[in-house]
């Protein structure tokens, strides 16, 4: 079996047996087994799921990271190696990322004697639920690391395409819930209550004005109300209505500005209508901010490897890799996977031709980075 066939076989095996965040037990066992068979050590970190290996010797350390978890989606892709775990699918391509970094580990192992330091390779659990990076950091996986690199496949780009950017790349992700407490009443006698539905529907409209009228139009911001719930029949005004949604930004200033305004507007509405509105924020991942020098370095190495490189657009999604970059310099990159259907789609089907070249790329990137620190 060729190197490429091996990586594709591994990817297909991972694809057939996907596991959700923090349940990646069989996935972890497979990765450990493949690494150990190739003569790579498993570092003794206390991890329930996830694996860390290392190649080389010396003080200098560069890290590579793959994510290993899947999504609660029933697969609809027409492939021979479709998911055997009902309702779970590698619909984000983390199986591809894992086989790329397994390939990089093998290539680096073959050059171990030439490496001017160590390359640590992190197979991270729980990217989708945003928490795996923190778990690995707590376990000590970033200790001594001078720079870290990772990838996401990009279905909208052809195989052979590469994109990244210095500075902010993926977004700050916030989730909010607004609980509107009015006063229930007979639908025919609204003056005896406080209409929570009327209040909530006006809130939805006015919240849109924050992003469109108060934030500088040159800053990126999205505020979406995605759930509105209240009432259960036609002739009763309900007591409570709940709104939920998400805020996406790239700058902490804009994030703070919008959060403050949402709270002020809710308080103002509550006072004007003599009702009560609770605002609850759930912080998600922070913005992913690439180190400009390492993003440029990663692009230069991609050019040398024959990729078509471009500056990536800002991404409004979240990515747990951001947590590493808060502590350690590095860069996260996009590599084209040419899937007709996008990430998290039940028919997502990345082109496996990206895998072997990406493995060569990350092995080269890690080795060159070791020479550069």
Cα distance between residue 317 and residue 299, in whole Å: 22
Min CB(69)–Ni ion separation in Å: 9
Contact flag: residue 338 with Ni ion (CB under 5 A): no
Among 71, 92, 115, 365, binds Ni ion (CB under 5 A): 92
Q: Segment contacting Ni ion (CB under 5 A): 82-90, 91-99, 170-178, 244-252? A: 91-99
**Angle at alpha carbon of residue 279, lines to 276 and 283, rounded to 5°:** 170
Beta carbon nearer to Ni ion, 257 or 286 = 286
Say if residue 39 is exposed, middle or buried (CB neighbours under 10 Å; 0-12, 13-18, 19+).
exposed
- Nearest distance, CB of residue 94 and Ni ion, angstroms: 6
Cβ-closest residue to Ni ion? Answer: 92
Verify binding: residue 148, Ni ion, rule CB under 5 A.
no
CA–CA distance, 138 with 365 (Å, rounded to integer): 26
| Interface region with Ni ion, contact rule CB under 5 A, candidates 92-100, 202-210, 345-353, 361-369 | 92-100
Q: For the CB of residue 165, give the shortest distance to Ni ion in the complex, in Å.
A: 18
> Least CB distance from residue 179 to Ni ion, whole Å?
31
CA dihedral for 358, 360, 361, 363, sign (positive or negative): positive
Comparing CB distances to Ni ion, the nearer of 66 and 203 is 66
What own/partner pairs with CB < 8 Å and gap ≥ 24 does 40-45 have? 40/105, 40/109, 43/120, 43/141, 45/136, 45/139, 45/140, 45/141
Maximum separation of any 2 CA atoms in the chain, in Å: 83
- The CB-of-181 to Ni ion minimum distance in angstroms stands at 38
Segment interacting with Ni ion, rule: CB under 5 A, options 32-40, 88-96, 272-280, 292-300: 88-96
Say if CB 267 and CB 284 are below 8 A apart: no
Shortest distance, CB of residue 57 to Ni ion, whole angstroms?
33
Q: What is the DSSP letter of 214?
A: I
Distance CA 37, CA 300 (A): 33
Token pair belonging to 217: 């139009």
The verdict on 288 binding Ni ion (CB under 5 A) reads no
The window from 11-19, 39-47, 85-93, 139-147 that contacts Ni ion (CB under 5 A) reads: 85-93
| 322 contacts Ni ion (rule: CB under 5 A) | no
Q: How far is the CB of 238 from Ni ion (least distance, A)?
A: 38
Contact set with Ni ion (CB under 5 A): 92
């Amino acid at each position: 079996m060729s190197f490429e066939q091996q990586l594709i076989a591994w990817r297909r095996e991972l694809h057939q047996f996907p596991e959700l965040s923090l349940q990646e037990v069989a996935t972890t066992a497979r990765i450990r087994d493949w690494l150990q068979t190739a003569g790579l050590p498993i570092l003794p970190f206390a991890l329930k799921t996830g694996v860390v290996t290392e190649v080389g010797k010396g003080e200098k350390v560069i890290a590579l990271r793959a994510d290993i978890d899947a999504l609660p989606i029933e697969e609809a892709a027409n492939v021979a190696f479709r998911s055997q775990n009902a309702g779970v699918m590698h619909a984000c391509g983390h199986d591809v990322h894992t086989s790329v970094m397994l390939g990089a580990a093998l290539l680096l192992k073959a050059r171990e004697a030439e490496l001017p330091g160590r390359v640590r390779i992190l197979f991270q659990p729980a990217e989708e639920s945003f928490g795996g990076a923190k778990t690995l950091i707590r376990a000590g996986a970033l200790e001594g690391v001078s720079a870290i690199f990772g990838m996401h496949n990009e279905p909208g780009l052809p195989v052979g395409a590469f994109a990244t950017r210095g500075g902010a790349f993926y977004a700050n992700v916030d989730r909010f819930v607004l609980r509107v407490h009015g006063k229930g009443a007979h639908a025919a006698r609204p003056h005896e209550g406080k209409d929570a539905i009327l209040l909530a529907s006006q809130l939805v409209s006015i919240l849109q004005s924050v992003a469109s009228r108060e934030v500088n139009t040159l800053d990126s911001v999205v505020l979406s109300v995605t759930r509105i719930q209240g009432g259960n029949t036609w002739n009763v005004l309900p007591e409570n209505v709940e709104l939920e949604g998400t805020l996406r930004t790239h700058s902490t200033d804009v994030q703070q500005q919008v959060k403050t305004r949402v709270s002020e507007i809710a308080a103002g509405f509550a006072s004007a209508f003599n009702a009560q509105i609770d605002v609850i924020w759930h912080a998600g991942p922070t913005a992913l901010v690439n180190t400009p020098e390492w993003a440029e370095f990663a692009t230069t190495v991609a050019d040398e490897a024959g990729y078509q490189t471009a500056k990536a657009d800002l991404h409004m999604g979240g990515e747990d890799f951001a947590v590493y970059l808060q502590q350690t310099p590095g860069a996260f990159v996009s590599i084209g996977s040419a899937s007709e259907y996008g990430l998290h789609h039940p028919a997502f089907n990345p082109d496996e031709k990206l895998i072997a070249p990406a493995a060569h790329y990350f092995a080269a990137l890690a080795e060159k980075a070791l020479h550069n620190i």
